[in-house]
Amino acid sequence: MRIHVGLTAAACVALAVTLQLAHPAAQGRAGGASGAPPPPPPTPREAAPIDLTGYWVSVVNEDYRWRMVTPPKGDYASVPLSDEGRKIADTWDMSKDGQCEAYGAAALMRMPTRLHITWESNSVLAIETDAGRQTRRLLFDRAARPPAGRTLQGWSQATWERPAPGASLKVVTTQLRPGWLRRNGVPYSQETVVTEYIDRFKAPNGDEWAVFTTLVNDPRYLNQEFVTSSHFKKEPDGTKWNPFPCKTT
C-alpha cells in the first residue's frame, strides 16, 4: 500500500523534507555553524592589548645617584629598611660591586639597561637585559605551578589588566632568592613579593615609551612597600644591544 496516495504534490514535498530533517545526519547539517564547536579563546599573545616587543633603553630621570653609579656603603636613603635590613646593608663592601645579587627581579628594571622583549611562546613573554645579561620569563598560564627552588628572577605570573586604551600588564613575582635593591647591597629577602604594572604610551612627538611601576614587599627587610617607576624609550632596532654579564662571586 502506498501511503502517499491522495496527497497533493506540495504535501509530498513537505513530508519528504520532514523525514530528511528527522535523520541525525541531516540534523547535524541543518545545525550549520550553531552546531559547530566554539573557536578556542585567543592566546595571551593574540589578546595582547599593547605591544611590548622590541628594543627599549632606560631613561634615568630620577634617582640618578643610586642608579647610574654604585652608591657608597650605607647609602640607603629613601628605602624603607627595617633594622635588620640596615644591618645587612652596613656589611657591604666595594669588592662586591657588580655581583649578580644586584640584578634580581626586584631591582633589575632600575638598572641603566637596554631591554629586548619578545614572545618566547604564545603564553610566555621574555624580557632580556643587556645589564647583567638576565632573562625574565613572564608566564600567562594560570595552571602552571612554580618550581621548588628559588632563582634570581623568580617565578613571574602575568595577566592583562584592561583592554586598550590604557591597558596594563600586571606581573607578580615570587620564588626569589635573596638579592639587592641597589648595587651597594641594600637587601631584599627570599620572602619578597614583587608586583609590577607595565604600561605603554606614545608621546606627542611620536616616541614610544614603556613604564614599569614596581612594588616591592618584603616583610623581613622592609618596613613598608617600596615603590619605584622606571621609564624606557623604544629604539628602532638592536644595533646598540650589548649585553654584559654580572659577577657570580
C-alpha cell at 183: 648595587
pLDDT at 32 over 90: no
pLDDT tier at 34 (50, 70, 90 boundaries)?
Answer: low
| Cα-Cα-Cα-Cα dihedral sign, residues 236, 117, 63, 206 | positive
The Cα 19–Cα 13 span in angstroms is 10
**Residue 33 pLDDT level (bands cut at 50, 70, 90):** low
The residues facing 157 across adjacent strands are: 139, 172
For residue range 177-219, what is the model confidence (pLDDT) as tens digits? Answer: 999 999 999 999 999 999 999 999 999 999 999 999 999 999 9
pLDDT at residue 86 greater than cutoff 90: yes
Q: What is the mean pLDDT of residues 28-46?
A: 75
| pLDDT for the residue numbered 7 | 43
Quick one: pLDDT band at residue 167, thresholds 50, 70, 90? confident
What HEC string does the chain produce? CCCCCCCCHHHHHHHHHHHHHHCHHHHHHHHHHHHCCCCCCCCCCCCCCCCCCEEEEEECCCCHHHHCCCCCCCCCCCCCECHHHHHHHCCCCHHHCCEHHHHCCCCHHHCCCEEEEEEEECCEEEEEECEECEEEEEECCCCCCCCCCCECCCEEEEEECCCCCCCEEEEEEECECCEECCCCCCEECCCCEEEEEEEEEECCCCCEEEEEEEEEECCCCECCCEEEEEEEEEECCCCCCCCEECECC
What mean pLDDT value characterizes the chain?
Answer: 89
- Is the confidence at residue 14, as pLDDT, over 50? no
87-126 per-position pLDDT tens digit: 999 999 999 999 999 999 999 999 999 999 999 999 999 9
- pLDDT at res. 121: 97
pLDDT for the residue numbered 192: 98
pLDDT over 70 at 223, yes or no: yes
Of residues 231 and 5, the one with the higher pLDDT is 231
User: Tell me: the pLDDT tens digits for 131-148?
Assistant: 999 999 999 998 888 888
pLDDT number for residue 104: 98
What single-letter amino acid sits at 173?
T
CB atoms within 10 A of CB 158: 22
Indicate whether 26 pLDDT > 60: no
Phi, psi of 68 (to 5 degrees): -85, -25
> Among residues of the chain, what percentage have pLDDT more than 70?
86
**The predicted structure's pLDDT at residue 23:** 47
| pLDDT at 196 (0 to 100) | 98
